[in-house]
Structure 1
């Protein structure tokens, strides 16, 4: 059981590490000859596009051809990262990042297909977020501590090496399925519940990505050295995954709503502190608690969608909603901060967070009634 969870966590870390270390990727590309931060951001976005494209084109592939998807996915990530370190042309770099993103999408689909229709899915996702997230946090922290002369093209060799290192462990999931878990008959959410759940996904990722996008500017307002800002964000990401312990230790459906409200409340309070108490201590503490709240909530949402997902395809498509939310949150963050200032920015992002909490309470307050009617079958 533990080896199976560990293998899925390793795959999860490879699948989503690109989204976590985006600031470092942008910085690395911007240090290549002829590139600046603006154009580097556009190229980095090709990786996110690859993730989304896989979910659109091949959502059912992982369940049907798991071994092939696993091997091709890891090869795409490793080769895409390595190629990025070699090229400086716009089209070649864009193609390299797109290839990496497609590979990451395939690996995420692999993880989703293994957790699909499992009972107590939020506990599984809590464990995967905790272990895989801690791995991604350590990766980001190590990248943030690289000497300045290694923060260009060598970053991508580092990322390729990381994928190659954990690939054998991650591929273990394709050789074995945990028999200690039960498989449930997928419970289909009503159309209204699905819309509310997707709204939660969109809003929470928009808020998380938006505040992340302006974190460096807030650090500048607080007179924090830019190098320390990156390190602080890496530390906050690493420690924030402790929040995933809450769904991991979940005792039953009746605790879901309380835990979700606690997670959203933690995020809201952290946002207020981050944008109103602008100093080094508040910067670090609020980022840690903000990430903690985020990872208290997301495994429950992912778990609910997983329990109604027969083959992982639904979650692959939901990832697209999360990526769109993150993109929108990032795109509007700069203009809002420049136009209204940090205090108003905090409230502008706390408000959608409150709406997401209300939607989540409605969905999870009723979900146990549907789950109770599900027929439990032995794992196959």
Structure 2
């Protein structure tokens, strides 16, 4: 478990999410008892795991900008977990991932529900449809949770443009990821842009800016948070890319080689193409996106990536990004407590194994 703050923030975020989702459960089951399956799936997904990094960055961005603690602010930043849930549910569907955090992904959960109930039609199509709708519902609820958090009208009004921009960025970033796989673009430039918009900005920079906007911070704080948060978010995504290929499934909760079978054109993979000869490039290109890739095939692609120098280059890039990020944090006009917690969050985000 990550230590994300100096107090009990994680427990408070979980409490706020639990209360919100319980109210939504009552709302859905009043419409129709069959919707209990929907509310249960979202409660299990949102409350069943996750690092709570985004609410932590937003909360400490708020505190670092001079904001005072309140349960209402905790509830407001907790809405970020529903944006994350939406992104993950849709990502698992698009990647055809069977598991998430060691449990069935949402589309697989509803596929199994259809099969066990003996309903008509295709179980896979039912699962896919359910995942689209549940991902959409989580995104709708993120807006509702922010709006109903109890934070002041002025605070919410300041925060909304950041919140809206973040949700647009993560959505179009996901499209660029899908496009990059379809076009087999192997450029480092494209991989970096996908990483920035699909994950980096909405993992660190936008949550920090959301916290700053809730606190009514000045432009100097916004500039400092961007200088700290954007390189850190990219380092976070590059660490995720490394774990997607070389991580331990017992810790990541996903089968070994899933990113390779899905054909993800990450910074790590782009760096491998840049470092390989034509024969090895062709072999890597043929293996990427092969859903039938066996364990031996996964090991071979790992060897190609490692031997190309891409793993070492990615680790070096992570270190460079972290150096820039922490230098910006040290220079930021923040109180010392927030600076210390943000430093620990940065370390946890990039040195993790899950």
- The interval holding the TM-score normalised by the smaller chain is 0.3 to 0.5
Higher relative contact order (CA 8 A, sep 6+): 1
TM-score by length of 2: 0.32
TM-score under structure 1 length normalisation: 0.30
